[in-house]
Amino acid sequence: MRLNINWRALTMVGALVVIWIAFSIATEGTFLTPRNLSLLARQMAVTALLAIGMVMVIVAGQIDLSVGALAGLMGAISAMAFTNRDWPLWAAFLLALVAGTALGLVQGNLVAWLRIPPFIVTLGGMLVFQGVLLGVTGGVSTSPTRAYLYVGQSYVPKMLGWIGAGLIAAFFVYRTLRDKGAGRWKWLGLAALALVFAGVMNGYAGIPVPVLLVLVLAALFSGMANHMPFGRHLYAIGGNREAAFYSGINIERHIIGVFGLMGFMAGAAGIVLTARVGSATSDAGRMMELDAIAAAVIGGTSLLGGQGTVWGALLGALVMASLDNGMSLLNTESFWQPIIKGAILVAAVAVDLAGRKGR
């Protein structure tokens, strides 16, 4: 198992490094400047938020096609509540998170109790949310004021960024010293990564707030996935539903729960999306569910369920964002972008399958 994970993680990181090197050569270094990497990190935030939730959905053997539309809808109602109805900012944010969670729970109930396949429930949900979004916005975009945009566009003060990264690096160094065996050296690598990340981000304007949000939520979700019964049960349900059932796990409640969490993440993604773009439009979030699924899959999640990690999905989202960003830098005609992304998605899974056969 341990070998397996390392192999997958290494291939992914390797692919990312290859992509980065290729782009930095092609752009004569522009790609790797702090300014561009900061932009890249911000560009991946929304997809990453959705992908974090999506991993858990797919791990449980489910799928959610509605998250793009749901994120768009949540971003819009939140912006409208803040701008048109003068709700306080916290209430506008809470609205998106609560409504997103609620709609996720509704879909989860349909899957768990009525046994409608999740593909159908969430395909229906996607269409409904798209329609509602068009209806409530009336096709007009809403542009919230500065305060709302903070979560999408501002930066963590550089000093705070250094302190945070320093604390995390110190913790990883502590683990390196405490743990035994070859596995502990990865902690040292992560400590270095935290410092390099802070350095690069501070080399421009600081760690972007949406990126910080992604990292915090990823850490929380990863902790839940690996160290809480709820998370482990999702792996069990996706890995062998019968076994989970015979172990006394309430499968329905877990499925409802994971769709609820996905809805929460869609709400968060919606807020960040509106805040980053600066306005909520009537087609916001469209097709983002596919980016989220692609990110999860590139990051090693098995669509059969039972396998996948949050950090892998983040890596997947980073690969996707790197492709978008690099091709834009190169002024590649925009029609190439989905073509390349599609090819990479299929290639990633093919490489993974070939690697598994080899073992």
Partner 1 sequence: MPLLELRGITKDFPGVRALDGVSFDLEAGEVHALCGENGAGKSTLIKVLSGFYPAGSYGGDILLDLQPVQFKSIREAEEHGISLIAQELALVPELSVAENISLGREPVRGGLIRWEQVNADAKRALELVGLDVDPRRPVRQLGIGQQQMVEIAKALIKSARILVLDEPTAALTEADAVRLLRFLAELRNRGISSIYISHRLEEVFRIADRITVLRDGRSVGTERTSELTSDRIISMMVGREVKTLYPRPERLPGDVVLAVQGWSVEDPLNPGRHVLKDVGFELRKGEVLGIAGLMGAGRTALVSSLFGAARSRVEGTLRIAGREGAAPMRSPREAIASGMALVSEDRKRYGLVLEASVGENITLATLRRFVHGLLLDNRQREKEAGAQALALRIKAAGLGTVVNHLSGGNQQKVVLGKWLLSRPRMLFLDEPTRGIDVGAKAEIYQLVKELAASGLAVIMVSSELPEVLGMSHRVLVLNQGRQTALLEGDAATPETVMAAATVKV
Q: Which residues of this chain interact with partner 1, rule CB under 8 A?
A: 1, 223, 227-229, 232-233, 235-236, 239-240, 242-249, 306-307
Closest CA to 136 of 104, 96, 101: 96
Nearer to partner 1, 170 or 228 (CB): 228
Closest distance to partner 1 from the beta carbon of 235 (Å): 6
Nearer to partner 1, 138 or 248 (CB): 248
Q: Which helix (H) or strand (E) holds 211?
A: helix 209-227
Nearer to partner 1, 152 or 231 (CB): 231
Closest distance to partner 1 from the beta carbon of 292 (Å): 22
Nearer to partner 1, 216 or 243 (CB): 243
Instruction: Read off the DSSP letter of residue 205.
Output: T
Closest distance to partner 1 from the beta carbon of 5 (Å): 11
Question: From the centroid of its chain, how far is CA 335?
Answer: 24
Closest distance to partner 1 from the beta carbon of 79 (Å): 34
Nearer to partner 1, 134 or 219 (CB): 219
Q: From residue 228, give the alpha-carbon distance in Å to each of 17, 48, 222, 225.
A: 33, 22, 10, 6
Nearer to partner 1, 307 or 322 (CB): 307
Q: Is 169 exposed, middle or buried (0-12, 13-18, 19+ CB in 10 A)?
A: buried
Closest CA to 141 of 259, 284, 13: 284
Nearer to partner 1, 241 or 286 (CB): 241
The rounded distance, in Å, linking the Cα atoms of 293 and 313 is 9
Closest distance to partner 1 from the beta carbon of 290 (Å): 26
Closest CA to 59 of 262, 331, 203: 262
Q: Which residue has the tokens 């760690």?
A: 207
Closest distance to partner 1 from the beta carbon of 229 (Å): 5
Exposure on the CB side of residue 129, measured as CA atoms within 13 A: 36
The rounded distance, in Å, linking the Cα atoms of 61 and 70 is 21
Instruction: Read off the DSSP letter of residue 309.
Output: -
Nearer to partner 1, 20 or 235 (CB): 235
Q: Which helix (H) or strand (E) holds 30?
A: none
Closest distance to partner 1 from the beta carbon of 220 (Å): 12
Closest distance to partner 1 from the beta carbon of 81 (Å): 32
Q: From residue 182, give the alpha-carbon distance in Å to each of 14, 200, 304.
A: 20, 29, 31
The rounded distance, in Å, linking the Cα atoms of 337 and 167 is 38
